[in-house]
Amino acid sequence: MPVPDGLEEGFAGARRRGLRGDGFTLVELLIVIGIIGVLLAILYPALRGSLIRARQASCTSALHQFGLGIIQYRDDHSGNMPPWLSSLYPDYVSARSIYICPSDKSRGHEGCKPDSSEYNIGGQFAEADDNESNSSTSRVSEVEYCSYLYEFCDAECDRDATGDKWWENYLIGQAGATATSDEVDEDGNGVCEWNEVKEYQLRNGDRSHPGAYNETAFPMVRCYHHMVESEVRSKDFDATGHVIGSKRDRLTLNLAYSGNVFPGPIKWEEKQ
């Protein structure tokens, strides 16, 4: 039986479509992939910026929670600071998760300052690491790792590779010369702990800031893990140490003694 012309054309079209299939050709797939690649290249900076801002917002929130906990601890302990940041858990800080900054690639394993060469921030403060390697009986062992440098901890200020303590020749004594250990060692036990050094610096100043610091600009807790993400303005000095302007520096987030959070450079004293 002869097939009508219209039906025959339909069969031919179906055969052609069957041979071609319903998917994309290789050329069409390459074009789609190319378009997606261009769109990703355009959107990536914005997406990356959003992720960075989200991590910094989360870190800022954690610092605020630490601030509330420390202030409440001081109220409950006659103005004394907690010996370690971990000491706030669980009575003053209920979540262990906030001890890890979202930008900390090591998840707290490298301690209060990152070790990676991309940060290039100089020496470490290993004695101030609030993690499981710390043998202090006053820290809380349930907090295994911590991303943050707590500047008022109970650790003795250790000596650097040259044999000096970081605060020596930096703090100003009562007579205008370099502060002595006797002036800094408030409890008179012969050991200058971080909390004593920082309390002295807060109340008396240092060579970059003669006189007492404003409590809203003096850090208790610092986070170094945003330095490869963002920048901040800082003071620029000439060879003689005089301020000659400002420069771009790497960002740190800081919890002040009064409880506010502020951005600053690596050396927070050089903040604009």
Q: What is the pLDDT of residues 160-214, one digit of tens each?
A: 656 667 788 889 887 777 888 899 999 999 889 999 999 999 999 988 888 899 9
Long-range contact set of residues 96-100: C-beta below 8 Å, sequence gap at least 24: 96/142, 96/143, 98/61, 98/62, 98/65, 98/66, 99/62, 99/130, 99/143, 99/145, 99/146, 99/147, 99/148, 100/145, 100/146, 100/147
Q: What is the pLDDT of residue 163?
A: 61
Q: Which residues of 135-151 are buried (b: 16+ CB within 10 A; e: fewer)?
A: eeeebbeebbbbbbbbb
Per the structure block, which two tokens stand in for 6? 């219209």
Q: What is the pLDDT of residue 122?
A: 65
Q: What is the pLDDT of residue 203?
A: 94
pLDDT at 16 exceeding the cut of 60: no
Per the structure block, which two tokens stand in for 82? 């907690």
With H, G, I as helix, E, B as strand and everything else as coil, classify residue 263: strand
pLDDT at 11 exceeding the cut of 90: no
The closest of 107, 121, 98 to 255, measured between CA atoms, is 98
> What is the domain partition of the chain in residue ranges?
26-228
| Mean of all residue pLDDT scores within the chain | 85
Q: What is the pLDDT of residue 47?
A: 66
Residue with tokens 């205008």: 176
Task: Work out the percent of the chain whose per-residue pLDDT is above 70.
Answer: 83
Per the structure block, which two tokens stand in for 182? 């006797």
C-alpha 137/C-alpha 83 separation (Å) is 10
Q: What is the pLDDT of residues 220-258, one digit of tens each?
A: 999 999 998 999 988 887 776 678 888 889 999 999 999
Mean pLDDT in residue range 146-154: 96
Give Cβ neighbours of residue 101 (< 8 Å, ≥ 6 apart): 55, 58, 59, 62, 147, 148, 223, 225
Give Cβ neighbours of residue 247 (< 8 Å, ≥ 6 apart): 233, 234, 235, 236
C-alpha 184/C-alpha 163 separation (Å) is 18
Q: What is the pLDDT of residue 219?
A: 97
Q: By mean pLDDT, which of 16-20, 128-132, 135-139, 248-252 is the weakest?
A: 16-20
Residue with tokens 């039986």: 1
Mean pLDDT in residue range 90-107: 96
Q: What is the pLDDT of residues 34-92, one digit of tens each?
A: 888 777 777 666 666 789 999 999 999 999 999 999 999 999 999 999 999 999 999 99
Q: pTM for this one?
A: 0.80
Q: By mean pLDDT, which of 20-29, 46-55, 104-113 is the weakest?
A: 20-29
The letter for the amino acid at 75 is: D
